[in-house]
Amino acid sequence: MGEFVKSLFDLRFEKFITPTIAGIGLVIVYVVVALLWLYFLFSGPGNFVLRLITFLIGLPLSFIVVRIWFEAFVALTKIAENSAKIVNILEERGS
């Protein structure tokens, strides 16, 4: 927990917290998206069958899009971490 707090206040951005909190954030966003889709399904007048079909297609698609966004954030963070490691190795070899 101490490392996480240190990373949170690392103003030089040498430590990244994205991979640490991505899983928690993903679950929270999934819950919010599911609740919004359930609200859409059971609210308002209109054809319930049409809303149900939209729900059955839209919910999984929403989960896929959210997952892709989170993967992109984590991938960018990993690229930055690995790039920093490569720079450190090259600097050590050069000096």
Give the gyration radius of the chain's Cα atoms.
20
Residue 41 maps to a domain:
yes
Domain ranges, residue 67: 17-94
Number of domains, the chain: 1
15 — pLDDT class (breaks 50, 70, 90): confident
Residue 12 maps to a domain:
no
Contact 39, 65 (CB under 8 A): no
Residue 5 maps to a domain:
no
**Tens digits of residue pLDDT in 34-48:** 999 999 999 978 899
Q: What angle do helix axes 18-42 and 48-94 make, rounded to 10 degrees? A: 170
Residue 2 maps to a domain:
no
**Tens digits of residue pLDDT in 60-89:** 999 999 999 999 999 999 999 999 999 999
Residue 77 maps to a domain:
yes
Residue 4 maps to a domain:
no
Q: Is the pLDDT of residue 59 over 90?
A: yes
pLDDT above 90 coverage of the chain, percent: 72
CB crowding 9-23: b at 16 or more within 10 Å, else e:
eeeeeeebbbeeeee
Contact 51, 40 (CB under 8 A): yes
pTM of the model as a whole: 0.80
In this predicted structure, what is the pLDDT of residue 40?
Answer: 94
Contact 14, 30 (CB under 8 A): no
